[in-house]
Structure 1
Amino acid sequence: MAAHEFWIEPQSLTLLEGETLRPVVMVGTEFDGVPHPFDPRAYRHVIWTAPNGEVKVSRTNQPQNFAQLTSGLHILGVESNPQVLSHDTIADFKAYIAEIGLSDRVDADDPGIVPGGPIIESYRRFSKTLVRYGEPSGSDQAIGLEYEWIRQDDGFLLLGKGMPRDGHPAFLFCRNAEGLVTEFRSTETDAQGRTNPAIEGQHTCLLNAVFIARQEDRSWQSSWTSILFGR
């Protein structure tokens, strides 16, 4: 999958009580990315949820770190501001649609805004990272992103605009303790919007899905949603 993934990477997904989370932004392909500083001001929404509730994130300066608050599961979620790119030809756009697993859902032969011109796409990123402090207590939950994954005891639930998304393509990447990406797998949500990929051993994994829809001005909008978790 050559399309760019986006995720928020902490120094570890399991931290000791009293440690501070130091996230970086990762953008890359096949779970291999380039780090960028994490600045909450760069995002439309930043959500930091602790076991005892949501914690307000400062938007007036540039905090790089998140203090540990209580023992248990913490969730860091972001929604990016929209950005625009263009695909030079219909062939380029069709190749991209194939990469994100949506060839059977999108009329990629449509010429777009101007016949013969570039195909315009506005894209957004929705990403969650699950981090545990101290005791492994607490469960993932919906935090209010327009598109988000929720980790459950029996797998992962994919929500889009608050509703489970059944039969939707998804992509799983897993990395071992040595930092090598050992697994890439395409999967699909079931009739309840869930997927339960088998993951063996201790890994850090990224689960990703992409939605794309035509806009009124005949451009396209894609919404990428990912979750980073430890296994």
Structure 2
Amino acid sequence: MRVLALIFSLIAAPVVAHEFWIEPTAYQVSADTNLEANIVNGQEFTGAKLAYLPQRFVNFVLFAGEASARVEGRPGDMPALQQAPVADGLNIAAYQATNSVVSYETWEEFQTFVTHKDFGDVRSLHDARGLPDNGFTEVYSRHAKTLIGVGDSQGADRRVGLETEIVALTNPYTDTLDGGFSVQVYYRNDLRPDTQVEVFEKAPDSRVTISLYRTDADGIATFPVKPGYSYMVDAVVLREPSERLAAQSGAVWETLWANLTFGVPE
């Protein structure tokens, strides 16, 4: 297990980023029960619940094994996901948000984000492209998944087609978790070795602890989990936007956020 020494609680952590995730009302349900989950935007595993609004997402899909179904709803629905499971077993909900843009008034603001997400020497790349120190923008997209156990909860997570994606190598509802929980991080069809992974652990009393890990040569990170807790895993890609996207958005940088949530049974 490779973990950074930096582990900090919600009280001590600086506010340097906003996450976006899918949070089920229950991580395990019976086979005859609808799935329900909120789309949430916030920080440190707490935030505002968002309604089902088709203009805000590119795809919103459920998977179970080889079967899949689009998430259908009415504009304004909350929770955003209210639908029958695809099948008995492990169901995966995946959501790709439409692009959004954020502005940085100073380089220092952007550097805080760069440092927190461990992107390396972005300043040299920024300068080499002749970009301004002040008043520039970033375009970003969210690629979120959650794991919901239905009935016996049997099954495995898999790639579902997100451009950047976190795949669980462990089924939290059926596997032995003594050796920890493992995830594998992808960007397009490539693994992401030596990449920072941020893990948010929410206790039953809603207290959140945040830990930083790094993937190994196979893009895998492993971390301990606790019964009765829920988890959010986050990894971010930074890249130069395509000419078309830069022209559309005015942004000089692009980020793609991969997110995975799951619960651990008591």
Q: Same fold (TM over 0.5)?
A: yes
CA deviation after TM superposition for structure 1 residue 56, in Å: 3.0
Q: Secondary structure at the match of 2:110?
A: helix
Code of the aligned partner of 1:200: K
Measured at CA, do residues 43 and 108 of structure 1 come closer, stay the same or move farther in structure 2, by a change above 3 Å? Answer: farther
1:14 and 2:24 correspond: no
Measured at CA, do residues 178 and 108 of structure 1 come closer, stay the same or move farther in structure 2, by a change above 3 Å? Answer: farther
Alignment of 1:49-88 (within 5 A): 49-51=63-65, 53-58=67-72, 61-62=74-75, 64=80, 65-88=82-105
Q: Secondary structure at the match of 1:107?
A: helix
Distance 1:117 1:95 in 2: 14
Out of 159, 168, 172, the residue aligned to residue 186 of structure 2 is: 159
Distance 2:71 2:45 in 1: 27
Structure with greater proportional helix content = 2
- List alignment gaps of at least 5 residues for structure 1: none
Alignment of 1:140-155 (within 5 A): 140-153=157-170, 155=182
Query: Is the Cα–Cα contact under 8 Å of residues 47 and 143 in structure 1 kept in the other structure?
Result: no
Q: Secondary structure at the match of 1:91?
A: helix
- Residue in structure 2 matched with residue 205 of structure 1 by the alignment: 231
For residues 204-230 of structure 1, the C-alpha deviation after alignment (integer angstroms, 9 at most, x for no partner) is: 100001111123457000000100011
Measured at CA, do residues 105 and 138 of structure 1 come closer, stay the same or move farther in structure 2, by a change above 3 Å? Answer: farther
Query: Is the Cα–Cα contact under 8 Å of residues 13 and 229 in structure 1 kept in the other structure?
Result: yes
Distance 2:194 2:212 in 1: 12
Q: Secondary structure at the match of 1:170?
A: strand
1:33 and 2:47 correspond: yes
1:194 and 2:228 correspond: no
The range that moved more, 183-192 or 107-116, is 107-116
- Residue in structure 2 matched with residue 2 of structure 1 by the alignment: 16
| TM-score when normalising by structure 2 | 0.79
The range that moved more, 49-58 or 149-158, is 49-58
Q: CA RMSD for the aligned pairs? A: 2.1
Query: Is the Cα–Cα contact under 8 Å of residues 201 and 229 in structure 2 kept in the other structure?
Result: yes
CA deviation after TM superposition for structure 1 residue 39, in Å: 3.2
Out of 127, 134, 147, the residue aligned to residue 130 of structure 1 is: 147
Query: Is the Cα–Cα contact under 8 Å of residues 68 and 86 in structure 2 kept in the other structure?
Result: no
